[in-house]
């Protein structure tokens, strides 16, 4: 867009003034009608016209000289020959650097490469051996559940496998609507929206609301899909230390002071418009996880809600790991902390973890959720969830409500495992006692991250080759911006028996003793 | 007028006498179109005059009998209950109004949809390919543009007026309001939802239609009624049977029975519904390895990777390949997932005009010569991203030219075959197969399984080094749940059928049938005088309606006549290029397509959609689009 110089407006001001000040001087009755109207002679009129044209010419010329693309200008100075040579000289990097894979393979030499020949349920078989699975997010043991499988089979017989279209274009099957209704009811919200992939849910939801100029406060322990959503939104980000409410409050207080200054500043002139990040226009959000995937602890929700009321921001709560896990009946952290449902503006959850299916969902008030039906990228532009998976998730939700004792079992198992795992030699346990997701980190980390990761991989590999339990270290993509310390991730299953847990702990304890001490 | 409204309301039964009548010819085209627009937008009341009876024979003999025969196969007459709103030739299974149909009805439906689908007509000889223009993007007359813009201005004026009335509380606002959060900065800008409030809601009844059957050649759509012009919907409990021209079921593998479904159920019993773990953790199963080997073999590359969602395949892998020191050259009509991926990568993105090789070359040159616009350093890599078939344009990318350019300028090529894999080429192996090229010339082959394979998910195929790199660096590989086994099995089975590895020639037959159906529909629509975009071989058939209101009315009326299509307007397409999109499937029988063409022909006259000035009734030159040989023989 070429920028017009302000001089271009000059003739529009000067020209009428010239005419107006000239006055109707020509009283000559023989004068032409032009002279009567203009009140001046032809010569004078031509002079004014040429003056106007000159001003326009100058302003356009100036505009040309202020061309905003100096790069293009420098290109014009090159001859064709030079251009050809430059193009020939340019050698790109290879598409993928060979060193990256080599490094990874060296670092992960001891990480077991697991290919399971069976269902990835409580027990899995790899390489012909049976393992107790302590590493997949099968918290409620719904993988391999006969009821889920029966529903899925029936759905294939009715609807086939794929849905062959996005939700808007005849890809909505009645099971989707049924599931959305069920989720909304389960989460005690007005409306729910279904996505076809767990990790695409929050990364589509954040950019639907938060745009350029808006401000998001983020806990610096959030998971990868939230990080991606933040990047896509192009909003301004402010990170606070993991679960540190004091730090968040100090950031909010600083922001409030800044806002006061910005709001008290008088407008320079009448037509001035506020910038996109002016406090009167800028929306503020807080994005936190319910149960942190990378740390295994809960967010301090009551304090955050108190801050929300004081500083007026909206809370997006990612319950990917806490739905069907935390709370008396598995309804997530709001139930655990007994926080009012309406205080959280948007919940996102996943059907991929506790509920044993695939996909994700958002829920909240109709005012919030309905917007995503046209603005959620992963909702509008992706094929809908295969009906069989939606039906399976729907059955899983029924089961969750039928069997609330599952959550008591899960909590008891998690607490038992917490007690046992915290005694491991050389390892320190992170996470809440009641949460089934735990991270074992080195008690005394060394300087080198690689070395730590390698040690933990060795521990896991020792159990994998000698024992009959499957543990795995947490893996992070290179694009991860908030890299936590390397850890062994332990996921507790609700239907583990006492003896199974004891043997699993014994195996990892002996491996840790062997490798670390 | 009242009588006419009544006829529209109660549907085909009465309307049958009215509808093939010649439409009252207005004196000037402009008044005519404005009137039509008005009618289309305000309500689906279209001014028609009683017919002279000229076409009545056609209606009773050709029009009604065929679809009736076609659709009611396998349904006993006893259970057939016609209700008032739906047309008689569309079966209304409204015996019980509950949404969940009983098992017996289900089976009946299944049988029915198979009866229609399992017996495709014999492929016909086609006229030589050169007869039809390779790719066409015919422009409309100036008056159509003016009408379109007038339509939008109309919508906006009334939108502002109604917003004003809502503000004064004269009109009750049905937009959901935020209940708590008093004193917060509003969550949405006022203009952000203007379009939704005042335009989208009026057209809401033609989108988001839920179905309750397999997305096969015939679908049952759940009928909805709206008490408040599109703000909320209630299900009436009836189902409407339609010919499905909307789903991406190109090769007809979305089936509730047959090899694919059986194999998926077996796998489900063996490997479970889902594996709640990422591929890099413990989510890998032998079926994934098998699938990846098969995909690599099918596409013709060294190795492949599969992901659980097509959208995530693009949005998670593009950032793993390029970073902020690199550049992306992206086609103007690339899919939203590519745009998201490009944004996530942080690379400098430049957009070139759709399928314009000159523009691509100029931009490539400029990028190499100028380097990064901020740091002024040369780019590390340049990635060209194109799609095989563009889902809204129906055009095929000019792959040979792109490969030549890519080699000349040492850029990398990312080919998204979401719509073309399976649907294009003599062996169904996508756009590379179509042009007879080598897949190894394309650096990254991406595609989805949602469309031709009747499943879900996506793949990346390429050299072994690339795949190994992505295995460790792609977010979808490290964090997201692996592809569920029954989904993977559906792909394996259908891909083997396409490759002919199941021991039958079923796959080859389907590919041939799809090509025939595509040619038939495209030729017929062009002959009738519609503007149809895209390449002659693309199964995505965009029929330009230009005017938004007309498009919506077209879809609405076509639905009443038993054909389901998709209409897309402004936010998805440019303002003046609203279009209806038809997707051809191998399982559409010739009778179905004939019905579709006949209905579209009729509505094309009614809604005045025959814009073409090259062929059809309003063409200036009266050049005929060659008809298919078989059609000529018939006459």
Task: Tell me if B558 is assigned to some domain.
Answer: yes
Q: What is the C-alpha to C-alpha distance for residues B8 and B19, in angstroms, rounded to an integer?
A: 10
Question: Of B499, B533, B564, which closes a domain?
Answer: B499
Q: How confident is the model at residue B548 (pLDDT cuts 50, 70, 90)?
A: confident
Mean pLDDT of the region A120-141:
89
For residue B173, the model assigns a pLDDT of 82
Q: How far is CA B263 from CA A147, B267, B291, B295, B488, in A?
A: 20, 6, 14, 18, 10
User: In chain A, what are the domain boundaries?
Assistant: 2-68, 119-142+404-516, 161-265+276-402
Q: Which two structure tokens, joined as six digits, stand for B413?
A: 């090529």
- The region of weakest confidence among A199-203, A210-214, B57-61 is B57-61
Secondary structure letter of residue A3 according to DSSP: P
Q: Look over chain A and give the mean of its residue pLDDT values, rounded to a whole number.
A: 86
Q: Which residues pair with residue B211 across a beta bridge? A: A173, B221
**Average pLDDT of the segment spanning A160-170:** 89
Instruction: Write down the H helix ranges in A430-497.
Output: 449-466
Options 3.30.450.20, 3.30.360.10, 3.30.200.20, 3.90.1150.10; which CATH number does A119-142+404-516 get? Answer: 3.90.1150.10
Shared domain for B159 and B219, answered yes or no, is yes
What residues make up the domain containing B447?
A: 58-118+261-499
Which of A103, A170, A386, A391 has the highest number of chain B CBs within 10 A, making it the mutation to test binding with B? A170
Higher pLDDT, B547 or A8: B547
Do B234 and B324 share a domain, yes or no?
no
CA angle A247, A250, A253 (to 5 degrees): 150
pLDDT, mean of residues A114-122: 89
What gap in Å lies between CA B573 and CA B477, rounded to an integer? Answer: 33
The pLDDT assigned to A38 comes to 63
H helix or E strand, kind and range, residue B498: helix B485-499
Q: How far apart are CA B166 and CA B55, in angstroms?
A: 47
Residues of chain A with C-beta less than 8 angstroms from the C-beta of B369: 75, 78, 83, 86-87
- Asked whether B397 and B386 are in contact (CB, 8 A), the reply is yes
Q: Degrees (nearest 5) of the Cα angle B255, B258, B264? A: 80
Are B207 and A169 a contacting pair at CB < 8 A?
yes
Residues B241 and B310 in one domain: no
For residue A106, name the pLDDT band (cuts at 50, 70, 90). Answer: confident
Does residue B26 belong to any structural domain of this protein? no
CA-to-CA separations, B59 to B67, B82, B406, B509, B556, in angstroms, rounded? 12, 19, 55, 34, 20
- Looking at the fold, whether B180 and B100 belong to one and the same domain comes out as no
Query: How many residues are given for chain A?
Result: 517
Confidence (pLDDT) at B56 = 34
**DSSP-derived secondary structure for A221-279:** T--HHHHHHHHHHT-EEEEE-TT-HHHHHHHHHHHHHHHHHHHHSPPSSTTPPPPTTST
Contact A198 B480 (CB under 8 A): yes
pLDDT-derived band at A481, boundaries 50, 70, 90: confident
B247 contact residues in A (CB cutoff 8 A)? 164-165, 169-171
Decide if B479 contacts B346 (C-beta within 8 A). no
Which of the listed ranges A17-26, A177-186, B208-217, B528-537 does the model predict with the highest average pLDDT? A177-186
Supply the mean pLDDT for chain B: 78
CATH 3.40.640.10 fits A161-265+276-402, yes or no: yes
Tell me which range, A261-275, B115-129, B191-205, B499-513, is most confidently predicted by mean pLDDT.
B499-513
Of A156, A313, A365, the CB nearest to B179: A365
Structure tokens at B554: 């077209």
pLDDT score at A419: 92
Least Cα distance to B58 among B606, B421, B601 occurs for: B601
Question: B441, B466, B499: which is the final residue of a domain?
Answer: B499
Closest chain A C-alpha to B291 CA, distance in angstroms = 14
Partner residue facing A87 (CB), from B249, B409, B453? B409
Q: Is A162's CB within 8 Å of B455's CB?
A: yes
Chain A hits for B260, CB-CB cut-off 8 Å, are 160-161
Banded pLDDT at A448 (limits 50, 70, 90): confident
**CB pair distance less than 8 Å for A382 and B311:** yes
- Chain B contact probe: residue of A89, A161, A165, A284 with most B CBs at under 10 A: A161
Percent of chain A residues past pLDDT 70, beyond the cut? 89
Tokens encoding A138: 């099968």
Number of domains observed in the structure of chain B: 2
Please enumerate, as own/partner, the contacts of B519-525 that have beta carbons within 8 Å and a separation of 24 or more: B519/B126, B519/B132, B519/B628, B520/B124, B520/B590, B520/B593, B520/B628, B521/B582, B521/B584, B521/B593, B521/B596, B521/B597, B522/B132, B523/B127, B523/B132, B523/B625, B523/B626, B523/B627, B523/B628, B524/B593, B524/B597, B525/B597, B525/B600
Question: Is 80 exceeded by the pLDDT of residue B134?
Answer: no
Look at residue A20 in the predicted model and tell me its pLDDT: 64
Q: Return the residue matching tokens 């191998």.
A: B586
Q: Is B443 close to A95, i.e. CB distance below 8 A?
A: yes
Q: Does residue B1 lie in a domain region?
A: no
User: Residue B168 has what DSSP assignment?
Assistant: T
Quote the CA–CA distance of A291 and A288 in Å, as a whole number. Answer: 9
Least confident range from A55-59, A472-476, B80-84: namely: B80-84
Measured CA to CA, the distance from residue A291 to residue A304 in angstroms comes to 15
| β partners of residue B244 | B564
In angstroms, the CA A387 to CA A205 distance is 22
Whole-number pLDDT of residue B104: 38
Kind and range of the H or E element at B160?
Answer: helix B142-167
- How many CB atoms within 10 Å of residue B178? 15
What does the radius of gyration of chain A's CA atoms come to, in whole angstroms?
A: 33
CA distance A282 to chain B (A): 7
Q: Which of these, A172, A212, A514, A335, lies nearest to B235 by C-alpha position?
A: A172
- CA A22 – CA A24 distance, rounded (Å): 7
User: What's the gap in Å between the CA of A412 and the closest CA on chain B?
Assistant: 22
For residue B569, the chain A residues in CB contact (below 8 A) are none
CATH number where B465 lies: 3.40.640.10
Would you give the DSSP letter of residue B449? S
What pLDDT score does A399 carry?
Answer: 92
Query: Are A382 and B271 a contacting pair at CB < 8 A?
Result: no
Q: For strand A236-240 and strand A284-289, is the pairing parallel, antiparallel, or unpaired?
A: unpaired
Q: Is the dihedral of CA B621, B627, B631, B635 positive or negative?
A: positive
The answer to whether A231 contacts B343, with C-beta atoms less than 8 Å apart, is yes
Which chain A residues are within 8 Å of B308, Cβ to Cβ?
Answer: 197, 358
Instruction: Report the percentage of chain B scoring pLDDT > 90.
Output: 37
Cβ contact A148:A158 at 8 Å: no
Helix spans in B188-285 (H): 194-195, 259-271
Flag the least confident range among A13-22, A209-218, B430-439, B535-544.
A13-22
Q: Quick check: B406 pLDDT over 70?
A: yes
Contacts of B139 (CB under 8 A, 6+ apart): none
pLDDT at B144 over 80: yes
Predicted local distance difference test score (pLDDT) of residue A292: 92
Same domain, B301 and B218: no
Q: What is the mean pLDDT of residues A477-497?
A: 88
B161-203 confidence digits (pLDDT tens): 998 998 888 888 888 888 888 888 888 887 778 888 888 888 8
Contacts of A101 in chain B (CB under 8 A): 465, 468-469, 472
- Summarize pLDDT for A321-341 with one digit per residue, the tens: 999 899 888 899 999 999 998
Contact B456 A162 (CB under 8 A): yes
The verdict on B453 and B551 lying in the same domain is no
Asked if A209 and B260 come within 8 Å (Cβ–Cβ), the reply is: no
pLDDT of residue A23: 53
Burial of B163 (0-12, 13-18, 19+ CB in 10 A): middle
Residue of A nearest to B219 (CA): A170
CA distance A102 to B347: 25
pLDDT at A374: 87
Beta-carbon count within 10 A of B152 CB: 19
Inter-CA distances, A160 with A155, A389, B216, B249, Å? 7, 11, 9, 12
Contact criterion met (CB < 8 Å) for B211 and A173:
yes
**The token pair that represents B381 in the structure block:** 């890599």
Which residues does chain A have within 8 Å of residue B282's beta carbon, measured at their own beta carbons? Answer: 114, 116, 120, 124, 133, 135-136, 470, 472
Condensed to tens digits (0 to 9), the pLDDT of residues B505-526 reads 888 999 999 999 999 999 899 8
3-state secondary structure of A364: strand
With CB atoms and an 8 Å threshold, state whether B455 touches A161. Answer: yes
CB A390 within 8 A of CB A194: yes
Q: B508 vs chain A: nearest CA distance in angstroms? A: 21
Q: How far apart are CA B13 and CA B193, in angstroms?
A: 39
Q: How far apart are CA A134 and CA A413, in angstroms?
A: 12
**Pairs of CB atoms within 8 A across A/B:** 359
Burial of A120 (0-12, 13-18, 19+ CB in 10 A): buried
Rounded to the nearest angstrom, the minimum Cα separation between B466 and chain A is 6
ipTM: 0.85
Domain final residue, candidates B437, B470, B499: B499
Is B349 inside any structural domain?
A: yes
d(CA B305, CA B444): 11
Whether residue A62 is predicted with pLDDT greater than 70 in this model: the reply is no
A-chain CB neighbours of B322 within 8 Å are: none
Coil, helix or strand for A492?
Answer: coil
- Contact at 8 Å (CB) between B559 and B241? no
Note the helical H segments in A122-223. 146-159, 174-186, 198-209
Distance of residue A319 Cα from the nearest chain B Cα, in angstroms = 15
A169 → closest Cβ in B246, B255, B455? B246
Question: Do the beta carbons of residue A27 and residue A40 sit within 8 Å?
Answer: no
* Together in a domain, B495 and B523: no
Closest C-alpha to A414, from A140, A120, A121, A130: A140
| Interstrand relation of B327-331 and B303-307 (parallel, antiparallel or unpaired) | unpaired
Q: Is residue A125 classed as helix, strand or coil in its secondary structure?
A: strand
Strands (E), A296-436: 314-318, 346-350, 360-364, 427-430
For B78, which DSSP code? G
pLDDT above 90 (res A186): yes
Residue B233 lies in a domain: yes
Q: Taking a C-beta distance cutoff of 8 angstroms, is the pair A170, B211 a contact?
A: yes
Block residue for tokens 């759940």: B222
- Of A482-496, B31-45, B278-292, which gets the smallest average pLDDT? B31-45
Model pTM above 0.90:
no
Higher pLDDT, A263 or A66: A263
pLDDT in tens, B209-219: 899 888 888 99
Mean pLDDT of A193-203: 91
Distance (Å) of CA B272 to CA A331, A351, B269, B296? 25, 15, 6, 25
Task: Read off the pLDDT of residues B3-22 as tens digits, 9 standing for 90 and up.
Answer: 333 333 333 333 333 333 33
Using alpha carbons only, what angle is made at residue A316 by residues A310 and A319, rounded to the nearest 5 degrees?
130
C-alpha closest to that of B199 among B582, B605, B578, B570: B570
């Amino acid at each position: 867009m070429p920028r017009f110089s302000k001089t271009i407006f000059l003739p529009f001001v000067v020209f009428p003034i010239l005419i107006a000040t000239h006055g109707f001087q020509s009283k000559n009755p023989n004068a032409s009608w032009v002279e009567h109207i203009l009140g001046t002679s032809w010569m004078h009129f031509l002079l004014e016209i040429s003056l106007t044209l000159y001003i326009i010419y100058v302003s356009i010329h100036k505009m040309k000289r202020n061309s905003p693309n100096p790069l293009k200008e420098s290109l014009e100075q090159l001859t064709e020959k030079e251009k050809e040579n430059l193009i020939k000289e340019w050698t790109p990097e290879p598409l993928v650097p060979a060193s990256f894979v080599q490094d990874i393979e060296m670092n992960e030499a001891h990480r077991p490469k697991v290919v399971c020949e069976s269902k990835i349920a409580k027990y899995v078989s790899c390489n012909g051996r049976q393992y107790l699975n302590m590493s997949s997010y099968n918290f409620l043991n719904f993988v391999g559940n006969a009821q889920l499988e029966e529903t899925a089979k029936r759905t294939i017989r009715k609807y086939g496998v794929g849905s062959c279209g996005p939700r808007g274009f005849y890809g909505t099957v009645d099971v989707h609507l049924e599931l959305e209704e069920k989720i909304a009811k389960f989460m005690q919200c007005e409306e729910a929206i279904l996505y076809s992939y767990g990790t695409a849910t929050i990364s589509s939801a954040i950019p639907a609301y938060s745009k350029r100029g808006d401000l998001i406060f983020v806990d610096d322990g959030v998971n990868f899909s939230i990080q991606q959503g933040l990047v896509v939104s192009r909003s301004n980000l402010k990170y606070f230390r993991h679960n540190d409410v004091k730090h968040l409050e100090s950031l909010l207080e600083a922001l409030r002071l800044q806002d006061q200054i910005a709001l008290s500043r008088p407008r320079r002139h009448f037509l001035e418009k506020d910038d996109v990040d002016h406090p009167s226009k800028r929306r503020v959000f807080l994005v936190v996880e319910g149960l942190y995937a990378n740390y295994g602890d809960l967010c301090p929700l009551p304090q955050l809600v108190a801050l929300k009321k004081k500083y007026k921001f909206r809370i997006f709560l990612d319950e990917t790991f806490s739905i069907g896990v935390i709370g008396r009946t598995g309804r997530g952290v709001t139930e655990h902390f007994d926080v009012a449902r309406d205080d959280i503006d948007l919940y996102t959850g996943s059907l991929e973890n506790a509920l044993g299916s695939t996909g994700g969902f958002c829920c909240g008030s109709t005012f919030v959720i309905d917007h995503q039906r046209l603005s959620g990228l992963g909702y509008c532009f992706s094929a809908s969830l295969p009906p069989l998976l939606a039906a399976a998730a729907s059955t899983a939700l029924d089961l969750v409500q039928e069997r609330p004792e599952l959550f008591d079992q899960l909590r008891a198992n998690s607490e038992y495992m917490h007690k046992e795992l915290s005694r491991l030699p050389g390892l320190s346990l992170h996470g809440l006692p009641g949460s089934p997701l735990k991270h074992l980190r080195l008690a005394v980390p060394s300087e080198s991250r690689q070395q730590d990761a390698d040690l933990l991989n060795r521990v896991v590999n020792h159990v994998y080759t000698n024992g009959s339990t499957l543990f795995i270290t947490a893996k992070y993509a290179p694009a991860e911006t908030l890299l936590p310390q390397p850890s062994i991730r332990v996921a507790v299953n609700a239907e583990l028996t006492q003896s199974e847990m004891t043997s699993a702990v014994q195996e990892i304890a002996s491996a840790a003793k062997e490798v670390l001490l | 007028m009242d009588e006419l409204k009544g006829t529209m309301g109660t549907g085909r039964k009465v309307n049958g006498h009215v509808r093939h009548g010649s439409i009252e010819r207005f004196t000037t085209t402009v008044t005519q179109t404005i009137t039509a627009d008005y009618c289309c937008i305000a309500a689906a009341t279209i001014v028609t005059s009683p017919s002279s009876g000229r076409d009545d024979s056609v209606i009773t003999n050709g029009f009604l009998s065929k679809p009736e025969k076609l659709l009611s196969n396998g349904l006993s007459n006893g259970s057939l209950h016609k209700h008032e709103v739906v047309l008689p030739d569309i079966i209304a299974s409204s015996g019980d109004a509950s949404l969940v149909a009983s098992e017996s009805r289900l089976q009946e439906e299944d049988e029915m949809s198979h009866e229609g689908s399992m017996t495709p007509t014999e492929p016909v000889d086609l006229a030589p390919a050169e007869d039809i223009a390779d790719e066409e993007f015919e422009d409309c007359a100036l008056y159509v543009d003016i009408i379109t813009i007038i339509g939008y201005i109309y919508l906006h004026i009334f939108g502002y007026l109604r917003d004003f009335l809502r503000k004064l509380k004269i009109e009750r606002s049905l937009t959901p309001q935020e209940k708590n959060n008093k004193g917060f900065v509003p969550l949405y800008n006022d203009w952000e939802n203007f379009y939704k409030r005042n335009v989208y809601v009026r057209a809401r009844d033609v989108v988001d239609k839920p179905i309750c059957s397999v997305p096969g050649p015939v679908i049952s759509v759940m009928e909805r009624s709206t008490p408040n012009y599109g703000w909320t919907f209630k299900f009436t409990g009836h189902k409407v049977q339609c010919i499905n021209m909307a789903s991406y079921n190109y090769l007809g593998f979305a089936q509730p029975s047959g090899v694919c479904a059986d194999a998926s159920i077996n796998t489900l019993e063996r490997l479970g519904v889902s594996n709640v773990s990422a591929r890099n953790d413990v989510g890998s199963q032998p079926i994934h390895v098998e699938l990846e080997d098969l995909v690599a073999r099918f596409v013709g590359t060294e190795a492949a990777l599969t992901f659980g969602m097509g959208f995530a395949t693009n949005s998670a892998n593009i950032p793993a390949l390029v970073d902020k020191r690199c550049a992306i050259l992206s086609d103007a009509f690339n899919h939203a997932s590519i745009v998201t991926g490009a944004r996530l990568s942080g690379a400098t993105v430049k957009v070139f005009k759709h399928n314009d090789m000159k523009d691509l070359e100029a931009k490539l040159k400029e990028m190499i010569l100028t380097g990064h616009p901020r740091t002024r350093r040369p780019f590390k890599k340049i990635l060209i991203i194109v799609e095989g078939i563009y889902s809204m344009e129906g055009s095929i990318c000019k792959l040979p030219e792109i490969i030549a350019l890519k080699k000349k300028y040492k850029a990398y090529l990312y080919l998204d075959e979401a719509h073309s894999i399976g649907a294009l080429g003599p062996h169904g192996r996508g756009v590379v197969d179509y042009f007879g090229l080598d897949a190894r010339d394309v650096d990254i082959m991406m595609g989805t399984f949602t469309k031709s394979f009747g499943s879900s998910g996506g793949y990346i195929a390429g050299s072994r080094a690339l795949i190994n790199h992505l295995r460790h660096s792609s977010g979808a590989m490290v964090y997201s749940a692996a592809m569920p086994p029954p989904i993977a099995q559906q792909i394996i089975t259908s891909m083997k059928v396409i490759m002919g590895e199941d021991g039958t020639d079923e796959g080859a037959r389907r590919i041939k049938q799809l090509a025939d159906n595509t040619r038939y529909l495209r030729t017929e629509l062009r002959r009738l005088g519609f503007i149809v975009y895209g390449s002659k071989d693309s199964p995505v058939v965009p029929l330009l309606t230009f005017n938004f209101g007309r498009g919506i009315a077209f879809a609405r009326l076509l639905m009443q006549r038993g054909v389901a299509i998709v209409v897309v307007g402004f936010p998805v397409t440019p303002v003046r290029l609203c279009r209806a999109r038809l997707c051809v499937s191998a399982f559409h029988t010739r009778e179905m397509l004939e019905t579709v063409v006949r209905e579209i022909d009729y509505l094309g006259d009614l809604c005045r959609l025959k814009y073409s000035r090259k062929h059809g009734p309003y063409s200036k030159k009266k050049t005929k689009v060659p008809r298919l040989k078989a059609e000529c023989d018939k006459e």
